[in-house]
Amino acid sequence: MRINDFHINIKVRIIENFISRFIGSMIFPFMAIYLSIHFGKKTAGILLVVNVFAGLFVNLLSGYLSDYYGRKKIIAVSETIRFFSFLIMCSCNSPWATYPLITFFMMMLNSLCWGLSVPANDAMLIDVSTEKQRKFMYSIMYWSSNLSVAIGGVLGGFLFEDYLFQLFIVMTFLSFLVVILVLFFIEESYMPNNQSITIKKHLIELFSNYQFVLKDTKFVFFVLAGVFILSSEHQLTHYISIHLLEIMPEQKLLIWDIDGIKALGILKSINTILVVMFMLFIHKIAFKYDDKKVLLIGSILLVTGYSVMSYSGHIFILFMMMVIATIGEVLFGPLEQTYFASMPPDQYRSSYLAFNGFKFNLSLLIASITVLISSIVPSFMISVLILGLGLMGVLIYYMILPQEKKDFEQN
C-alpha cells in the first residue's frame, strides 16, 4: 500500500489536516491562559463552558448538513469562515490595540467551524477509501496529526507570551492556504439528491436522522465504550496534572530538578514524540494479528497507564506508564477508527460521524467531573474510578465486537 494509491481527496486531506492541527496546537491550548489574564479565572471558566456547549450543538447539526448539502460545500464554507475569524483575531491582538472579548467570540466561531467541518472531512475520507486502504490511511492521518501537534505545541509554548501577534499572522496565512486547498483541489465525494426544504423540514429530518442513529444499539454502545476509554486519556490534562502539582516532590532527573508541573510537560512531550515514532512500525506488526484482540490489548494498556499515573508521584514510574499508555494509544486509535468506518449506512454516514464525535466532549466531561469529586474522595479511589471506567469500556468492546470484521460490517 502506497500513498500514491490514495484518492486525491485523501492526499489533500492529509496535508490540510497537518496544517490545521499545526495552527490549532500553536494557539488554542493556551487560550485559557489568555482569557484568564484578560477576564479573570471565574469569567474565563464561564466563557470556556459556553464554548464547549456551543460545540456540542454544532456537532449535532454538522453531520446532517454534510449529508444534506455534500462534503465539499460544508468544508469550504467552514474553512473560509475560520480564515476570517483568524484575520479578525490577528487584528484584535496587534501591537496597537487588544480586544479580548472580540477575540473570544472569534475563538468560539473558529471552534464552531471546526466542529462543522470535521464530520464532513471524516465522511469524505470514508467515501473515497476502500476497506483495504483505511488502516494505512488512518495510520498516516494519526501519525501526521501527532507530528503537527508536537511541532505546533513547542512553537506555541515558546512564542505565545511574547510573540502573540506574529503567531496570529502565521495562523492567518496558513488558514488561507487551507482554503485554497479545499476550494481548488478537493473533489466532491457525495452528491445528495435533495430538494430545497423549509427550516421546519430541516429540523424534522435532523431529528429523524439522529433517531435512526440511536436505534442502532451496537453503535451507541460502541461510542459509550470509546467515551469511557478516552476519559482515561483526558485525565492527563485534568486530574493527573492537579495530582502531580499537589503531591509530587521535586526530583532529580540527570542534571535537572523536576517538579509536578515540569513532569506534566515532559509526559505530554513523551506521549506526542512516541506516538510519532511508534506509528512508523507498530501498525505493521499489530495489523498482522486479529483486529479485536489488538484493539482490546491497546485499550487495556492505555487505561492501565493513565490509571497508574493518576496515583503515582515517582518520575520514573510516570515515564514508564506513559510509554505503556502511548503504545496502547497507537494500537487502539487507528483500529477503533477502522471498526467505526464499517458501521454507518451511506445515507447516514455524516450523522453517525457527528454522533461519534460526542466521544470527545463526553469523555472531557467525565475528566472534568473527576476533578470536582477529587476534593472529597481520596486519590486512591479516584485512580480506581479511572481504571474502573476504562475497563468498563474494554468490556463493552469485548461484548459487541465480533471476532471477524466481516461479521461486524454485515451486522
- Listing DSSP states for 150-161 in one string gives HHHHHHHHHHTT
Question: Residue 38: inside a domain, yes or no?
Answer: yes
Cβ-based burial of 217 (10 A; exposed 0-12, middle 13-18, buried ≥19): exposed
Separation between Cα atoms, residue 108 and residue 143, nearest integer Å = 27
**Domain stops at, among 194, 223, 255:** 194
**Domain stops at, among 164, 194, 224:** 194
Number of domains into which the chain is organized? 2
C-alpha cell at 75: 468544508
Residues 187 and 64 in one domain: yes
Separation between Cα atoms, residue 20 and residue 10, nearest integer Å = 15
Residues 165 and 103 in one domain: yes
Which stretches of the chain drop beneath a pLDDT of 50? 410-411
* Residue 284 pLDDT: 67
Residues 173 and 237 in one domain: no
Separation between Cα atoms, residue 150 and residue 273, nearest integer Å = 7
* Residue 410 pLDDT: 46
Separation between Cα atoms, residue 337 and residue 226, nearest integer Å = 10
Residue 189: CA count within 13 A, CB half-sphere: 27
- pTM: predicted TM-score of the whole model, two decimal places: 0.67
Per the CB < 8 A criterion, the answer to whether 148 and 276 are in contact is no
Residues 142 and 260 in one domain: no
Separation between Cα atoms, residue 30 and residue 47, nearest integer Å = 14
* Residue 120 pLDDT: 83
* Residue 345 pLDDT: 78
pLDDT digits (tens, 9 = 90+) for 178-210: 999 989 988 887 777 665 555 566 667 767 777
